Amino acid sequence: MKGRYDEENLKWIAPLIILVIVLPFLLRGATFSYRYYLYVLNIAGIYTILTVGLDLLSGYTGLISLGHAGFLAIGAYTSAVLVDQAGVPFGLSLIVSPLITGLFGILVGFPALRISGMYLGLTTMGFGFIVRRLIIALRTWTEGSAGLEVSKPVLFGFTFANDWHNYFLIYLFVIVVVVFARRVMKSKIGRALMAIRDSEHAAQAVGINLVRYKLFAFFLSAVLAGLAGVLFAHTMRFISTDHFDILLSIYFLIMVLVGGVATIYGAVLGTLFIVLLDFLAIPLFKDWLASFMAVQVADIQSLIFGCIMFLFIIFQPMGLYGMWLKMRIYWKLFPFNPKIKQT
Amino acid sequence: MADLVIENLEVHFSGVVALDGVSLNVREGEVFSLVGPNGSGKTTLFNCISGFVTPLGGTIDYGDLDLLSKPPHSIIATGISRTFQNLQNIPYMTVLDNVLLGNHSRIGNRETVRRWISRRQRELEEERALEVLDFIGLANYEQKYLSGQPYCIQKLVEITRALVSQPKLILIDEPAAGMNDQETMEIAKIIGEIRDYLGITVLVVEHDMSLVMAVSDRVCVFDSGNVITIGEPAEVKAHPEVISAFLGESVVA
Amino acid sequence: MKLRKPVTLILLITFFLACAGREPTPGVTDTEILIGNIQDLSGPMKELGMALPHGSNLYFNYINDKGGVHGRQIRMTMEDHQYNPQKAVAAAKKLIEQDQVFCLYQIIGTSPCEAIRPMLEENGIPLVAPATQSGTMSDRSKTGWKYIFHTDTGYDKQANILVDYAYELNASAKVGVIYQDDDYGENVLEGIAEAEARHGVTIQKEAFQRGATDFAGQVMNLNKGGATHVIIGGIVREPIIVMKTAAAMGYAPQFLGISPTMDHRVALGSGEAGEGFIAANFAQLYNSDTEGAELYRELFEKSGTDPKVMGMYNFYGFITAMVLVEGLERAGKRLTRDGLIKALEGVKGYDGKGVFRGITYGPNDRAGTEAVVLVENRGGTQRIISDWIE
Per-residue model confidence (pLDDT) at position A338: 46
**pLDDT grade, residue C48 (50/70/90)?**
confident
Q: Do B73 and A262 touch (CB under 8 A)?
A: no
- Find the CB nearest A187 among B71, B81, B116: B116
Q: Do A147 and C85 touch (CB under 8 A)?
A: yes
Give C246: exposed, middle or buried? Use CB within 10 Å, 0-12, 13-18, 19+: buried
What is the pairing mode between strands C73-80 and C32-39? parallel
Per-residue model confidence (pLDDT) at position C20: 47
Per-residue model confidence (pLDDT) at position B1: 52
Q: Which chains touch A (3 or more CB pairs under 8 A)?
A: B, C
Q: Do C90 and A43 touch (CB under 8 A)?
A: yes
- Find the CB nearest A206 among B101, B115, B145: B101
Which chain B residue is nearest to residue A194, measuring alpha carbons?
B90
- Find the CB nearest B165 among A1, A206, A343: A206
Whether chain A has a CB inside 8 Å of the CB on B13: the answer is no
Whether chain A has a CB inside 8 Å of the CB on B199: the answer is no
Same domain, C149 and C201: no
Whether chain C has a CB inside 8 Å of the CB on A110: the answer is no
Q: What is the mean pLDDT of chain B?
A: 87
DSSP string computed for A131-156: HHHHHHHTHHHH-GGG-EE-PPPEET
For the segment C68-81, the average pLDDT, to the nearest whole number, is 92
Containing domain of residue A120, as a range? 5-267
Residue C377 lies in a domain: no
DSSP string computed for chain B: ---EEEEEEEEEETTEEEEEEEEEEEPTT-EEEEE-STTSSHHHHHHHHTTSS--SEEEEEETTEEGGGS-GGGGGGGTEEE--SS----TTSBHHHHHHHTTGGG--HHHHHHHHH-HHHHHHHHHHHHHHHHHHT-GGGTTSBSTTS-HHHHHHHHHHHHHHT--SEEEEE-TTTT--HHHHHHHHHHHHHHHHHH--EEEEE-S-HHHHHHH-SEEEEEETTEEEEEE-HHHHHH-HHHIIIII-HHHH-
What are the phi and psi torsion angles at C378 (to 5°)?
Answer: -130, 120
Q: Do C115 and A238 touch (CB under 8 A)?
A: yes
Task: Show which of residues 92-151 on chain B sit within 8 Å of chain A, judged by CB atoms.
Answer: 92-94, 97, 100-105, 107, 112, 115-116, 119, 122-123, 126-127, 130, 142-143, 145, 148
3-class state of residue C230 by DSSP = strand
pLDDT at C14 over 60: no
Element of type H or E holding C55: helix C46-65
**CATH code of the domain made up of B1-79+167-253:** 3.40.50.300
Site from A8, A188, A189, A261 to mutate, B interface, most B CB atoms within 10 angstroms: A188
Element of type H or E holding A203: helix A200-205
For residues C117 and C125, what is the distance between their CA atoms, to the nearest angstrom? 10
Give the closest-approach CA distance of C265 to chain A in angstroms: 22
Low-confidence stretches of chain A (pLDDT beneath 50): 1-6, 338-343
Q: Are B221 and B236 in contact (CB under 8 A)?
A: yes
Same domain, C269 and C293: no
Residue A35 lies in a domain: yes
Q: Do A301 and C82 touch (CB under 8 A)?
A: yes
For the segment C27-48, the average pLDDT, to the nearest whole number, is 88
- Find the CB nearest A194 among B93, B103, B112: B93
Same domain, C268 and C194: yes
For the segment C144-159, the average pLDDT, to the nearest whole number, is 92
Distances (CA, A) of B94 to A233, A263, A326, B231, C270: 40, 13, 17, 41, 67
Chain C residues near residue A39 by CB distance under 8 angstroms: 89-90, 93
- Find the CB nearest C94 among A36, A143, A162: A36
SS3 content of chain A, % helix, strand, coil (to 5): 80, 0, 20
Per-residue model confidence (pLDDT) at position A1: 38
Residue C384 lies in a domain: no
For chain C, the domain total comes to: 2
Which chain B residue is nearest to residue A181, measuring alpha carbons?
B116
Per-residue model confidence (pLDDT) at position C10: 59
Whether chain B has a CB inside 8 Å of the CB on A10: the answer is no
Chain A residues near residue C182 by CB distance under 8 angstroms: 136, 145, 241
Instruction: Express each pLDDT in B6-42 by its tens digit.
Output: 999 999 988 888 899 899 999 999 999 998 888 888 8
Q: What is the CATH classification number for the domain harbouring C139?
A: 3.40.50.2300
Same domain, C149 and C14: yes
Chain C residues near residue A30 by CB distance under 8 angstroms: 10, 14
Q: What percent of chain B clears pLDDT 90, i.e. is strictly above it?
A: 40
> Using a CB cutoff of 8 Å and minimum separation of 24, what contacts does C124-129 make?
C124/C337, C124/C338, C125/C96, C125/C101, C125/C337, C126/C337, C126/C340, C126/C341, C126/C344, C127/C103, C128/C103, C128/C104, C128/C320, C128/C323, C128/C324, C128/C327, C128/C340, C128/C344, C129/C105, C129/C320, C129/C323, C129/C324, C129/C368
For residues C347 and C358, what is the distance between their CA atoms, to the nearest angstrom? 9
Question: Taking the CA of residue B94 as centre, how many other CA atoms within 13 Å lie in the half-sphere pointing to its CB?
Answer: 19
Judged by 3 or more CB pairs under 8 A, whether C touches B is no
Which of B157, B148, B48 is closest to B96 using CA atoms? B157
Residue A333 lies in a domain: no
| CB atoms near residue B151 (< 10 Å) | 12
CA C334 distance to own-chain centroid? 29
Containing domain of residue C178, as a range? 155-281
Same domain, C299 and C248: no
Instruction: Express each pLDDT in C290-304 by its tens digit.
Output: 999 999 999 999 988
Q: Are C203 and C173 in contact (CB under 8 A)?
A: no
Same domain, C147 and C163: no
Instruction: Express each pLDDT in C260-281 by its tens digit.
Output: 888 888 888 888 888 889 999 9
Q: Are C315 and C296 in contact (CB under 8 A)?
A: yes
For chain A, the domain total comes to: 1
Helices (H), C236-290: 237-249, 264-270
Q: Do A144 and C183 touch (CB under 8 A)?
A: yes
C111 Cβ contact partners less than 8 Å away, ≥ 6 residues apart: A147, A240, A242, A243, C83, C85, C88, C183
| CB atoms near residue C67 (< 10 Å) | 10
Chain B residues near residue A180 by CB distance under 8 angstroms: 116
Per-residue model confidence (pLDDT) at position C9: 58
Per-residue model confidence (pLDDT) at position C13: 57
Which chain C residue is nearest to residue A34, measuring alpha carbons?
C97
For the segment C57-79, the average pLDDT, to the nearest whole number, is 93
Residue A21 lies in a domain: yes
Residue spans per domain, chain B: 1-79+167-253, 89-164
Q: Are C278 and C254 in contact (CB under 8 A)?
A: yes
Range in A138-152, B112-126, B165-179 the model is least confident about? B112-126
Residue C59 lies in a domain: yes
Q: Do A240 and C183 touch (CB under 8 A)?
A: yes
Q: Do C110 and A147 touch (CB under 8 A)?
A: yes
Helix-helix angle B151-164:B119-136, to 10 degrees: 120
Which chain A residue is nearest to residue C99, measuring alpha carbons?
A33
Query: Taking CB atoms and an 8 Å cut-off, how many pairs form between chains A and C?
Result: 111
Q: What is the CATH classification number for the domain harbouring A229?
A: 1.10.3470
Chain C residues near residue A162 by CB distance under 8 angstroms: 122
Give the closest-approach CA distance of A210 to chain B in angstroms: 8
For residues C219 and C223, what is the distance between their CA atoms, to the nearest angstrom? 6
Q: Edge-to-edge strands of the sheet including C278-281?
A: C204-208, C175-180, C229-233, C254-257, C278-281, C373-378, C381-384
Chain A residues near residue C49 by CB distance under 8 angstroms: 296
For residues C254 and C126, what is the distance between their CA atoms, to the nearest angstrom? 41
pLDDT at C100 over 60: yes
- Find the CB nearest A238 among C18, C85, C94: C85
Q: Do A33 and C89 touch (CB under 8 A)?
A: no
Q: Do B104 and A2 touch (CB under 8 A)?
A: no
**pLDDT grade, residue C21 (50/70/90)?**
very low
Q: Do A147 and C115 touch (CB under 8 A)?
A: yes
Residue A234 lies in a domain: yes
Domain end call among C234, C257, C281: C281
- Find the CB nearest C93 among A30, A36, A149: A36
Per-residue model confidence (pLDDT) at position A340: 44
Which chain A residue is nearest to residue B166, measuring alpha carbons?
A206
For the segment C93-111, the average pLDDT, to the nearest whole number, is 91
For the segment C369-384, the average pLDDT, to the nearest whole number, is 86
pLDDT at B145 over 80: yes
B127 or A81, which is more confident: A81
Per-residue model confidence (pLDDT) at position C12: 58
Q: Are C349 and C358 in contact (CB under 8 A)?
A: yes
**Quick one: how many helices (H) and strands (E) in chain A?**
15, 4
Q: Do C97 and A35 touch (CB under 8 A)?
A: yes
Per-residue model confidence (pLDDT) at position C331: 92
Q: Do A208 and B116 touch (CB under 8 A)?
A: no
Per-residue model confidence (pLDDT) at position C22: 46
Task: Show which of residues 15-74 on chain A sit within 8 Å of chain C, judged by CB atoms.
Answer: 22, 25, 28-36, 39-40, 43
Q: Are C253 and C176 in contact (CB under 8 A)?
A: yes
